[in-house]
Each structure stands twice: as structure tokens, then as C-alpha cells.
Amino acid sequence: MYMVIWEYRVKRGKQSEFEDIYSPNGAWAQLFKTEAGYLGTAFIRDTNDPQRYLTIDRWVSKEAYERFLKQRENEYKVLDAKCAGLTEEESPLGKWNSI
């Protein structure tokens, strides 16, 4: 399994909107589901900092993830731009393989 992990610091007052879009049933997951290799998203919030979230997107392989990015590049960019106003910070924490 291949995982892509992101950390977000959400703007105050934007948590509900952020959660709707980034949840396992939100807009990002709906876009990811267009690729057969998408396995799901874990969506977690820091218990000590309610503005800090992580997403862990799971894919069958690196190739499936890269195929998705190539085939859905325009849709990805449009959704990313739509979400820009929700966060103060957005950081990729890495791409991981399960062992």
C-alpha cells in the first residue's frame, strides 16, 4: 500500500467547511475515487490543537497515485484552488509504502 500524508492548520471559523471537503466522503475523496487504485482516506484532528489535521490517502501503489495525478491534473488544481482559503498552512509529510 502507498500512502500520501498531509498536515493542515485550518483557519479559525473554517473547520466545518474544511471537514466537509477533506473528510473520507468529501470532495477530495470523491475526486480520488475516480481512480480504481484509491483505497480510502484517514482523516484525523489533533486532540490538543483543534486547528491541526492530518489526511492519509491510501492507494494500491505509487503507480496508481501517479496515474490519478496525471489523468485528473486539471480537476485536482481546481479543487486545490477552491480550498486555498481554508488553511493557514498546508504541508506534505511524505509519501510512504507499507512494509
Domains of the chain, by residue range, sit at 2-97
pTM above 0.85, yes or no: yes
> pLDDT tens for residues 29-79?
999 999 999 999 999 999 999 999 999 999 999 999 999 999 999 999 999
> pLDDT tens for residues 12-34?
999 999 999 999 999 999 999 99
Name beta bridge partners: 53: 8, 45
Give the count of beta carbons closer than 10 Å to the beta carbon of residue 65: 21
Query: Where does the pLDDT of residue 94 fall: very low under 50, low under 70, confident under 90, or very high at 90 and above?
Result: very high
Q: Which CATH class is domain 2-97?
A: alpha beta
Instruction: Decide: 35 and 67 in contact? Cβ < 8 Å.
Output: yes
